[in-house]
């Protein structure tokens, strides 16, 4: 019999996996319906909105797990809904005033630029409602919302192919639908709300705004910056090729890596013996590395055939991008599985240092790319090398306390 904890993990994991499978299954169809430029605009919007979404909520949604009562969680949810809405209303006029400058800088259309804060608002709401559902142990709704978002998004994108911004419209529609679903499933009960009590509850989330927001911004920016930079420094078509490459290479990380990571985190937390934690750490690293090597080596060899067969000839350059980025994704799957170890060992400052170190390296290389006029291939090769180096640094930073733990 599975424990209640494992059942909850599997419930959440099944939704994430199914959502990824649906997105991946629809990719060959969408690749034939839309141009590389359309995918580039989508990628840039998704990356920009991911960064803005953190600013909209200040990561207050994570405070749900520290609140003791259902009433406090409901008040926090209501307060963050209004905060995110105010942030959205603040950014929308800014984007409207500078719409032409933003569009020209990012190499996207004016309408796409205007939709960035809208997409960010509903992504912030989706993260907010998802974390609320998990905090009240409604794991089923959180899981189903991810699947519902993938289905509605894919259906809308397939139906709207005649529109220039069909991909973006489908993306935003999927977020809106998923937010509506979660809002209905986690609707506010008959609780008396007052401005004073809501503000008092919001103040309890100040540590998350102070400490978690900067760390989350660093991490998200490091992950999203390449897409934004490619759009700015090259063009939307190159950003589209990069997005398609990410969809293909990120699939095993999402499907395999997340499952391994969830199980590893659970087993690590429930292990009482330090030697058992060390054996678990070492075994997980070996298994994830072996799986990563098998998958990515096979993909690298077969990339040209697979890309042209499933995506079409116009996407052939994706095969070249896959070869350049394979080392990075190999490390992301093999080492990323144990990346939460430092947090579980309460080495949060070390993890924040690594996030800052990684982000700084990417920014410096982006500046060098601009000043030295590197080609897109050179940039991707350098970016992949920097990420490999950073994952090896993370492994070294994790090995030190783990070896010390083993010797206690």
Mean pLDDT of 367-372: 95
How far is it, in rounded angstroms, from Cα 335 to Cα 338?
Answer: 6
The larger pLDDT score, comparing residue 94 to residue 221, is at: 94
Contact 52, 116 (CB under 8 A): yes
Residue 292: name the closest of 394, 386, 358, 391 by CA: 391
Query: Given pLDDT bands bounded at 50, 70 and 90, which one contains residue 16?
Result: confident
Position of tokens 């299954």? 25
For residue 5, what pLDDT is reported? 57
Q: Taking every pair of C-alpha atoms in the chain, what is the biggest distance, in angstroms?
A: 64
* pLDDT, averaged across the chain: 87
How far is it, in rounded angstroms, from Cα 37 to Cα 111?
Answer: 14
For residue 266, what pLDDT is reported? 67
DSSP string, 200-230: HHHHTTHHIIIIIHHHHHHHHHHHHHHHHHH
Residue 244: name the closest of 108, 46, 18, 86 by CA: 46
- Asked if residue 39 has pLDDT above 60, the reply is yes
For residue 56, what pLDDT is reported? 94
How far is it, in rounded angstroms, from Cα 126 to Cα 129?
Answer: 5
DSSP string, 56-69: HHTTGGGGGGG--S
DSSP string, 99-113: HHHHHHHHTS-HHHH
Query: Given pLDDT bands bounded at 50, 70 and 90, which one contains residue 35?
Result: very high
How far is it, in rounded angstroms, from Cα 80 to Cα 279?
Answer: 42
Position of tokens 């072996």? 290
Q: Which two tokens stand for residue 24?
A: 């991946």
How far is it, in rounded angstroms, from Cα 347 to Cα 213?
Answer: 17
Q: How crowded is the C-beta side of 210, counted as CA atoms within 13 Å?
A: 6
The larger pLDDT score, comparing residue 404 to residue 124, is at: 124
Query: Given pLDDT bands bounded at 50, 70 and 90, which one contains residue 315?
Result: very high
Q: Which two tokens stand for residue 266?
A: 């659970």
How far is it, in rounded angstroms, from Cα 79 to Cα 233?
Answer: 39
For residue 261, what pLDDT is reported? 75
Residue ranges covered by each domain of the chain: 1-210, 234-408
For residue 277, what pLDDT is reported? 84
For residue 176, what pLDDT is reported? 96
Span between the terminal Cα atoms of the chain, in Å? 34
Query: Given pLDDT bands bounded at 50, 70 and 90, which one contains residue 212?
Result: confident
How far is it, in rounded angstroms, from Cα 201 to Cα 127?
Answer: 19
Contact 157, 167 (CB under 8 A): yes
pLDDT digit string (tens) for 190-207?
666 677 888 888 888 777
Contact 77, 200 (CB under 8 A): no
Contact 131, 66 (CB under 8 A): no
Whether this model's pTM surpasses 0.85: yes
Compute CA 2 distance to the chain's CA centroid, rounded to the nearest angstrom. 29
For residue 408, what pLDDT is reported? 63
Mean pLDDT of 181-198: 77
For residue 189, what pLDDT is reported? 62
> 75-104: b or e for each residue (b if 16 or more CB lie within 10 Å)?
bbbbbbbebbeebbeebbeebeeebeebbe
pLDDT digit string (tens) for 125-142?
999 998 888 888 888 888
Query: Given pLDDT bands bounded at 50, 70 and 90, which one contains residue 6?
Result: low
For residue 36, what pLDDT is reported? 95
């Amino acid at each position: 019999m599975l424990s209640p904890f494992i059942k909850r993990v599997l419930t959440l994991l099944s939704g994430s996996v199914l959502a990824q499978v649906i997105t991946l299954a629809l990719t060959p169809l969408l690749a034939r319906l839309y141009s590389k430029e359309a995918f580039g605009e989508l990628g840039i919007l998704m990356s920009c909105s991911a960064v803005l979404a953190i600013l909209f909520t200040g990561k207050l949604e994570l405070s749900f797990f520290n609140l003791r009562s259902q009433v406090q969680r409901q008040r926090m949810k209501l307060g963050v809904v209004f905060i995110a809405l105010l942030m959205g209303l603040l950014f929308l006029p800014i984007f409207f005033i500078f719409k032409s400058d933003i569009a020209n800088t990012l190499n996207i259309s004016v309408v796409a630029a205007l939709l960035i804060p809208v997409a960010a608002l509903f992504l912030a709401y989706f993260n907010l409602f998802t974390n609320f559902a998990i905090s009240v142990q409604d794991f089923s709704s959180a899981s189903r919302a991810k699947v519902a978002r993938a289905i509605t998004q894919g259906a809308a994108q397939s139906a709207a192919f005649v529109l220039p911004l069909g991909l973006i419209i489908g993306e935003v529609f999927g977020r809106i639908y998923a937010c509506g679903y979660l809002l209905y499933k986690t609707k506010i009960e008959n609780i008396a709300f007052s401005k004073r009590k809501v503000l008092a509850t919001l103040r309890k989330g100040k540590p998350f705004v102070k400490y978690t927001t900067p760390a989350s911004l660093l991490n998200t920016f490091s992950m999203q910056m390449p897409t934004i930079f490619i759009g700015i420094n090259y063009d939307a078509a190159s950003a589209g090729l990069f997005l398609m490459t990410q969809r293909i290479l990120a699939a095993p990380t999402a499907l395999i890596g997340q499952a391994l990571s969830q199980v590893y985190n659970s087993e690590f937390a429930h292990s009482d013996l330090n030697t058992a934690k060390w054996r678990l750490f070492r075994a997980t690293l070996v298994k994830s590395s072996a799986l990563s090597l098998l998958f990515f080596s096979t993909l690298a060899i077969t990339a040209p055939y697979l890309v042209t067969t499933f995506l079409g000839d116009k996407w052939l350059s994706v095969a070249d991008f896959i070869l350049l980025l394979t080392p990075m994704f190999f490390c992301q799957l093999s080492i990323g599985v144990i990346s939460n170890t430092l947090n579980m060992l309460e080495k949060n400052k070390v993890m924040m240092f690594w996030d800052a170190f990684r982000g700084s390296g990417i920014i410096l290389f982006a500046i060098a790319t601009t000043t030295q006029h590197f080609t897109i291939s050179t940039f991707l090769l350098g970016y992949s090398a920097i990420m490999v180096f950073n994952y090896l640094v993370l492994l070294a930073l994790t090995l030190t306390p783990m070896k010390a733990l083993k010797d206690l």
